[in-house]
Structures are given as structure tokens and as C-alpha cells.
Amino acid sequence: MTVYSVETKPASLFRRLGALCYDSLLLLGVLFIAAIPLTFFALETREDVWVENFIRAYLIAVCFIYFGWFWGHGGQTLGMRAWKLHLIRDDGGKLGWSHFAKRFLTAWVTLGFGNLTILFSNKKHALQDTLSSSVLVYRPSVNNNR
């Protein structure tokens, strides 16, 4: 059962995609900074499969930490804040890293196309919402300057 307040409603596909584009640009900058130490690491090692896999895993972990940290500290990434979106748990409880991991992995595996399930869902939930027991909501009247 999803708990919504009076001024809260499920986020639309348009708003989700807007926040995703905004966060993608910010994340690109974060990944650029995070990749600086990798250039020194990659220059000193030969091109092995384990090095390539390590680099991929490292960059995916940076992405997960980016989203997880913001979701855990206020329920909003910077892109979500700009689009007035907020991540909450279905039952109104506190979100944890297990919710973040399920949400992130679902979005990653589906390449973001899990958002399209909003078009077919009565509750207007995306696939990552359902699998992580959380929901992205639109709160137009929330003061985002906390």
C-alpha cells in the first residue's frame, strides 16, 4: 500500500526523464573526476581483462554511491530536486541501502526502460519502484532548500 500525502502524487514519465537527463549530466562530471586516478593506474599496467573489469566495476560503484548517497540524504538527487521529485518508501518507512541497491540494479539492467512501465501501471509506478518497494513522487509544494 502506497502512502501519499495530500500534496504528493506519483511522478510522471516526463518528470522522471527530465530528472534523469539532469542527473546524467551531473554524473558525467562526477565520473570524469572519479576517473582521474584510473588514468595513472591504467598507464602503469598492461591491458589485462581484470584491469578493464576493475575499471568498469569502479565506475558503476561510483554511480551507485552517487545515487545512494543522495537518496539516503533527503530522498532526492540534484536532478530530482530540480524537478521536485522525492523518493519515498511505499509504506512510508525509512529507505535503506537495500532499497537503493534494488532500485539502482533494476534501472541499470533495464537501461532505464523500466520507467516505461508507468504507462501501463494503474499506480503509475515504474519497474524499479515496484521491485524496490519505493516510489518516486512529485511534491510541488515541498521546500527544497533544507
What are 9's three cell numbers? 502524487
Please tell me the distance from the alpha carbon of residue 134 to that of residue 68, in angstroms, as a whole number: 13
Helix (H) / strand (E) containing 129: helix 127-132
Please tell me the distance from the alpha carbon of residue 132 to that of residue 141, in angstroms, as a whole number: 25
Please tell me the distance from the alpha carbon of residue 126 to that of residue 124, in angstroms, as a whole number: 7
**Domain segments of the chain as ranges:** 9-138
Q: In this predicted model, what pLDDT tens digit does every residue of 69-113 receive, in sequence order?
A: 999 999 999 999 999 999 999 888 899 999 999 999 999 999 989
Total count of residues recorded for the chain: 146
What are 119's three cell numbers? 504507462
Please tell me the distance from the alpha carbon of residue 134 to that of residue 61, in angstroms, as a whole number: 21
Q: What is the pTM of this model?
A: 0.85
Contact 77, 23 (CB under 8 A): yes
Q: In this predicted model, what pLDDT tens digit does every residue of 35-74 receive, in sequence order?
A: 998 887 666 666 677 878 888 899 999 999 999 999 999 9
Question: For the chain, what is the mean pLDDT?
Answer: 88
The HSE-up count of residue 53 (CA atoms within 13 Å, CB side) is 3
What number of H helices and E strands is found in the chain? 5, 3
Q: In this predicted model, what pLDDT tens digit does every residue of 129-141 receive, in sequence order?
A: 999 999 999 998 7
